[in-house]
Amino acid sequence: MEWLPHQAVARILGITLACPLPVSAQSPLWQPLAPVPDAEGFAAPFAGVSGGALLVAGGANIPGDKWKEPFVKVWHDRIFVLTSPDGSWHDAGHLPGPLAYGVSVTTGDGVLCLGGSDSLRHHDRCFRLKWNGSAIAVDPLPPLPRPCANACGAQVGRMIYVAGGLEKPDATTALHTFWALDLEAPAPVWKELEPWPGPERMLAVAASHDDAFLLFSGARIKPGPDGKAVREYLRDAWRYTPGNPGRWQRLADLPRPAVAAPSPAPLIDSRLAILSGDDGTKVDFTPVRDHPGFPRDALFFDPASGTWTSRSSFALSRATVPAVIWNGFIVLPNGEVRPRVRTPEVFRFQPTPP
């Protein structure tokens, strides 16, 4: 399949090309929606679609002094619902407890919320959020095989897959685990499958394409000189095909790491898009309050050819946020714009030209 013309890609992603374009073609297809009703916004909330509405739930932020050491992070339990793109958010209740850094997967009957953490520990709890037009229902699901936060996941057919993550807050080794839940089984239970042959990781990006699960980037961790975890930023990519004798296939490496980029990776013109994320080049930037933000580019993976293409000057700098498909648009609800700084902004854009 052919790439979109550069002008069309530019319009989709807010890219500025070297050659001048008409004003209408330079205008990106990004549209701001109402910000969530929180001054700080949230990193790593659960987010998805249920009953035709956009849901954002939980998440974590730093409402006090972000620059003192140590800073204080706060986990949240509120559920917000947006029923129309031109509407306003309203409070729809609470999660079973404060929770963030879990996996969000939108299915036909709700938003699956898998694992995550609070201020004290990581959880194996899983549940489904369902919006009926006036209220939220929280339905329990089978727990994960072990507590897990900072994982990634996606739906492939009737299966939900979750890869990697951290078992506990002070872990110095990421999980090398790959779990599957059959949503249509008479008695669903998570099964542990053979993991990808590459390194263990957290904060990777998942994707679903052509009945396969894809795993991109992420961070490997190990103890540093002070005993605290330090990150190794990964560029490898893998494809898992159920029923295929080979199961896991190594794909071409990403042009750069994309740790905690919006996940699952959305499809844009038959390419899987890795939008922003942390490439690790400024991990030691000081002072941290002057950090310029995460990369503003997009990486496109073509599953047909197995190749990557980069596009510079992506419209937003984002990490630790789900990517949600709502009414044919790709939505990024909140997330981190740079270390310690979240945003209440919510943006959507069209994955194809109008």
pLDDT digits (tens, 9 = 90+) for 254-300: 999 999 999 999 999 899 999 999 999 999 999 999 999 999 999 99
Q: Is 51 a domain residue?
A: yes
**CB contact at 8 A, 177 and 195:** yes
Q: Is 14 a domain residue?
A: yes
Q: Is 170 a domain residue?
A: yes
Predicted local confidence at residue 181, as pLDDT: 98
Per-residue pLDDT tens over the stretch 210-230: 999 999 999 999 998 888 889
Predicted local confidence at residue 313, as pLDDT: 74
**CB contact at 8 A, 299 and 279:** no
**CB contact at 8 A, 84 and 70:** no
Q: State mean pLDDT over 301-317.
A: 91
- Residue 4 CB contacts under 8 Å (≥ 6 apart), including other chains: 12, 269, 352, 353
How far is Cα 43 from Cα 331, in angstroms, rounded to an integer? 15
Predicted local confidence at residue 352, as pLDDT: 63
| Residue from 240, 192, 194 nearest 216 by CA | 240
Q: State mean pLDDT over 231-250.
A: 92
How far is Cα 239 from Cα 328, in angstroms, rounded to an integer? 25
| Residue from 352, 326, 332, 351 nearest 42 by CA | 332
Q: If 0-12 CB within 10 Å is exposed, 13-18 middle and 19+ buried, where does residue 1 land?
A: exposed
* CATH number of the domain residue 138 falls in: 2.120.10.80
Reported confidence tier of residue 14, pLDDT bands at 50, 70, 90: very low
> Which of 18-27, 170-179, 245-254 is most confident?
170-179
Question: Helices marked H in the chain — which ranges?
Answer: 6-13, 23-26
Q: Is 90 a domain residue?
A: yes
Predicted local confidence at residue 111, as pLDDT: 98
> What is the pairing mode between strands 212-216 and 219-223?
unpaired
pTM of the model: 0.91
Reported confidence tier of residue 246, pLDDT bands at 50, 70, 90: low
Residue 195 in 3-state DSSP? coil
Q: Is 1 a domain residue?
A: no
Q: If 0-12 CB within 10 Å is exposed, 13-18 middle and 19+ buried, where does residue 284 land?
A: exposed
- Residue 284 CB contacts under 8 Å (≥ 6 apart), including other chains: none
The number of beta carbons lying within 10 Å of the beta carbon of residue 244 is: 12
Identity (one letter) of the amino acid at 80?
F
The per-residue pLDDT of the chain, averaged, comes to 90
Count of positions (residues) in the chain? 354
31: pLDDT strictly greater than 60: yes
Tokens of 189: 């239970």
Q: Is 61 a domain residue?
A: yes
Question: Which residue range is the domain that position 245 belongs to?
Answer: 6-349
- Residue 178 CB contacts under 8 Å (≥ 6 apart), including other chains: 161, 162, 163, 192, 193, 194, 195, 196, 240
Number of structural domains (the chain) is 1
26: pLDDT strictly greater than 60: no
